[in-house]
Amino acid sequence: MTKPVVGVIGNAQLVNERFNVQVVGQRNLKAIAEVADALPLMFASLPDITDIGALLDAVDGILLTGARANVHPTCFGVEPHPKHEPYDQDRDAVALELTRACVERGVPVFGICRGFQEFNVAFGGSLHPEIRELPGRMNHRMPRLENGEIHPDPEVVFADRHEVKLVSGGTFATLLGCETIRVNSLHGQGILEPGKRIVIEGTAEDGTFEAIRIAEAPAFALGVQWHAEYDPQTNPINRTLFNAFGAALREGRKG
């Protein structure tokens, strides 16, 4: 039996200040291949060439990855500000429509970091451009050196930074078998107002939303604010999430 196929969204990047390319972090691909036991297939986040209907006919599930670019504020009725750049409006156009289409068609979809935020915006929610600027919130961005440069050690950057309290009896708590977990943290934007079908299932100790599901979705439709793709081969929390995603892919094939 062939492995299920997971479409992994690409991100726009300019190489050598000349060439526009679409890229995907290898850890996303390895998490799909090695933990979800599926075949990762990158697709472009370019609305002029990406036919969402045809894409969903070709894959068994979708992974919406993290990305450097913020979701454009006009997607949730707010004026943009240069200090919150970069943006990637092509990805916005693909990801928001794709999220809704996955739920409508019952295609398993897993949102990570930016993907988590896209879930919320797709169903009418809003984001704050810098969660750390809200009263009482911690800095959720990646660790930096005193000179402002990103810490050079990935083990430090992706280390568990804070706890997440899961809703008792919820999908995440049931799946993970516990009500408190520890996760990494590498984001600026975060959910401000949840969308109409967004169910909050996990909250950081400072009140930041960290785990969500889409209500009444007929298949796997979970989102996490942390980077679960970094270490699911060794981290039991993230491994369980990717295992569950893989199981949903195979269950969808049976149907």
Per-residue model confidence as pLDDT tens digits over 135-148: 777 777 767 767 76
pLDDT at 22 over 70: yes
Look up the pTM and report it. 0.93
Q: State yes or no: is 149 an active-site residue.
A: no
Per annotation, catalytic residue among 72, 140, 187, 227: 227
- pLDDT tens digits along 110-128: 999 999 999 999 999 999 8
Q: State yes or no: is 227 an active-site residue.
A: yes
Binning pLDDT at 50, 70 and 90, where does residue 1 land?
low
Binning pLDDT at 50, 70 and 90, where does residue 74 land?
very high
Q: What angle do CA 200, 193, 66 make, to 5 degrees?
A: 70
Per annotation, catalytic residue among 118, 201, 210, 229: 229
Per annotation, catalytic residue among 113, 118, 140, 201: 113
- pLDDT tens digits along 30-59: 999 999 999 999 999 999 999 999 999 999
- pLDDT tens digits along 199-242: 999 999 989 999 999 999 999 999 999 999 999 999 999 999 99
- Mean pLDDT lowest among 13-22, 79-88, 221-230: 79-88
Q: Which residues contact 172 (CB under 8 A, 6 or more apart)?
A: 166, 201, 202, 211, 213, 222
Taking the C-alpha atoms of residue 124 and residue 147, their distance in angstroms, rounded to an integer, is 39
Q: State yes or no: is 72 an active-site residue.
A: no
How high is the pLDDT of residue 185? 84
Assess contact for 56 and 107: CB atoms under 8 A.
yes
227's tokens: 């980077």
Taking the C-alpha atoms of residue 224 and residue 210, their distance in angstroms, rounded to an integer, is 6
162 or 195: which leads in pLDDT:
195
How high is the pLDDT of residue 188? 76
Residue-range domains of the chain with CATH: 5-254 (3.40.50.880)
Taking the C-alpha atoms of residue 235 and residue 241, their distance in angstroms, rounded to an integer, is 10
Binning pLDDT at 50, 70 and 90, where does residue 130 land?
confident
Taking the C-alpha atoms of residue 161 and residue 205, their distance in angstroms, rounded to an integer, is 11
DSSP character at residue 71: P
Taking the C-alpha atoms of residue 223 and residue 115, their distance in angstroms, rounded to an integer, is 7
Taking the C-alpha atoms of residue 154 and residue 103, their distance in angstroms, rounded to an integer, is 34
Assess contact for 213 and 221: CB atoms under 8 A.
yes
Taking the C-alpha atoms of residue 46 and residue 100, their distance in angstroms, rounded to an integer, is 17
